[in-house]
Amino acid sequence: MKIKSLQELVLFFHEKWKIKVKKFHKREDKNLLTKKRYKEFSDFPFEKIPPFEILSWLDYSSQGWIILSSDLTIKYINDKALKLIRRIKCKDVIGKAINDISELETVRDKILYSRKKDLPCYLDFNIFGDPISAKLVKGRKKTFLIVLESKLSIEALKDRQTQLINDVSHELKTPLTSLILIGERLESTVSKKDKYLIKRLKKESKRLKKMVEETLELSKLNNSFSYSTNQKIVIGKLIIETWETLKPLAEKKEVNINIKCLDKYLISGDYQNLKRAYINIIDNAIRYSPNKEEIKIEIFRRDSSVVIKIHDNGVGIEDGDFNKVFGRFYRGDPSRSKFKKSGSGLGLSITKTIITNNKGFIKAYNNKDGGATIETIFPLVK
């Protein structure tokens, strides 16, 4: 069968699909597909869908789609195909001959070679070193549909993304350090009325530098599925040590701690990384608690797990944001807090990664009597 247009291609596959559905419907298991449900599918007016609407749907496809006219001019390309051939805008490609796109030179040669064949042709080639798979489908009047797919594995794509983050972060560290030093030098030379600008420059430069450092740390943690320094940890002792580290910050606000731990529960994990995670959690609890308040920490056993609950008396978490607080760069609604948010928004994201890497679980929720609770759970070790 020769296909006139993309719309006919869709209709052709729809008719084939309907035959399969009819055979499927004859199976003994009647619960899988009822007559009413089949009628809803088969009565869908595919023939009334205009081609431009189908093309707009293809923009969201995970495959790259390119449609060529008989003179091998590009008439349509979707966003995925643009990314695969390393182009930014459709106007850079639409209306051009495939000869003008050097990345598709191999595909053009294959089309010219296979013009006399009606069957789809398959081709593997590279674009800037990335392995690409192409399927060439011939239509009527020597038109062609090219379907492109990346052959990179998910793991390879993650590795590339991680490498990009690391490279960008490393490149940013040096100029940000320079900005901080320039700000310190300028502070003694500018007029009094402009000093606030220098203070703002130093503050934002330090915040960005911290964000870069934490982005690098998070990238490193995301690629660490286990730790070679795993050891048995008395979780109560770790929490008390963490509190001692943050005690000066708590004393400034006259915030006290109330730890309730009935036993010396053991967990297995990386001590230093877990301490970093609980520093983030307790630091947030101190910062968001009003002056002269109390932070409650409960450590108890639940079945074969150890549960650590850290309650504060702050403003709580906005409804619907209980999972979002662990996302990257989450800052929350500023109208809900009296405190200036000067952090990077990566602290709790780093915390969750550490907890997960140590076979733990973390969640956040609001207390009935006000404030928020961060709850972490780990397998109990004997």
pLDDT at residue number 50? 75
The pLDDT, as a whole number, for residue 375 is 93
Q: CA-CA distance, 67 to 359, in Å (whole number)?
A: 49
Q: Is a pLDDT exceeding 80 seen at residue 265?
A: yes
Mean pLDDT of the chain: 77
Torsion of CA 109, 115, 117, 118, to 10 degrees: 120
**SS3 readout for the chain:** CCCCCHHHHHHHHHHHHHHHHHHHHCCCCCCCCCHHHHHHHHCCCHHHCCHHHHHHHHCCCCCEEEEECCCCEEEEECHHHHHHCCCCCHHHCCCCEHHHCHHHHHHHHHHHHCCCCCCCEEEEEEECCEEEEEEEEECHHHCEEEEEEECCCHHHHHHHHHHHHHHHHHHHHHHHHHHHHHHHHHHCCCCHHHHHHHHHHHHHHHHHHHHHHHHHHHHHHHCCCCCCCCEEEEHHHHHHHHHHHHHHHHHHHCCEEEEEECCCCEEEECHHHHHHHHHHHHHHHHHHCCCCCEEEEEEEEECCEEEEEEECCCCCCCCCCCCHHHCCCCCCCHHHCCCCCCCCCCHHHHHHHHHHHCCCEEEEEECCCCCEEEEEEEECEC
Give the mean model confidence (pLDDT) for residues 237-264: 88
Choose between 212 and 132: higher pLDDT.
132
- Quick one: pLDDT at residue 224? 55
Would you say the C-alpha torsion 354, 355, 360, 362 has a positive or negative sign?
A: negative
Whether 376 shows a pLDDT value over 90: the answer reads: yes
pLDDT digits (tens, 9 = 90+) for 13-57: 556 555 544 444 444 444 444 545 544 445 556 566 777 777 777
Average pLDDT for 248-262: 86
Residue 102 binned pLDDT confidence (cut-offs 50, 70, 90): confident
pLDDT of residue 306: 92
The length of the chain is 382
Q: Would you state the pLDDT for residue 310?
A: 92
Q: What is the pLDDT of residue 328?
A: 65
Q: What is the pLDDT of residue 30?
A: 44
Residue 11: band (very low, low, confident or very high) from pLDDT cuts 50, 70, 90: low
Higher pLDDT: 257 or 43? It is 257
| % the chain with pLDDT above 70 | 71
377 is written with which tokens? 């759970």
Contact 375, 333 (CB under 8 A): no
Looking at residues 121-142, what average pLDDT do you find?
A: 84
Higher-scoring residue by pLDDT: 35, 310: 310
Of the ranges 71-85, 195-209, 217-231, which is most confident?
A: 71-85
d(CA 170, CA 22): 59
Over residues 288-310, mean pLDDT = 90
Which amino acid belongs to residue 377?
I
- Give me the pLDDT at residue 361, please: 92
Name the residue with higher pLDDT: 154 or 373: 373
Would you state the structure tokens that stand for residue 249, as one six-digit string?
């910050």
**Beta strands 256-261 and 294-302, pairing class:** parallel
- What local confidence, expressed as pLDDT, does residue 261 receive? 81
372 vs 355: CA distance, rounded Å: 19
Q: Which residue is listed with tokens 């399927």?
A: 135
Predicted pLDDT at 139:
80
Q: Which residue has the higher pLDDT, 21 or 173?
A: 173
**pTM of the complete model:** 0.49
d(CA 272, CA 313) in angstroms, rounded, equals: 27
Over residues 272-296, the mean pLDDT reads 88
Higher pLDDT, 177 or 330: 177
Range of 116-125, 167-176, 184-193, 230-239 with top mean pLDDT:
230-239
Q: What is the pLDDT of residue 311?
A: 92
Q: Which of 204-208, 300-304, 354-358 has the lowest mean pLDDT?
A: 204-208
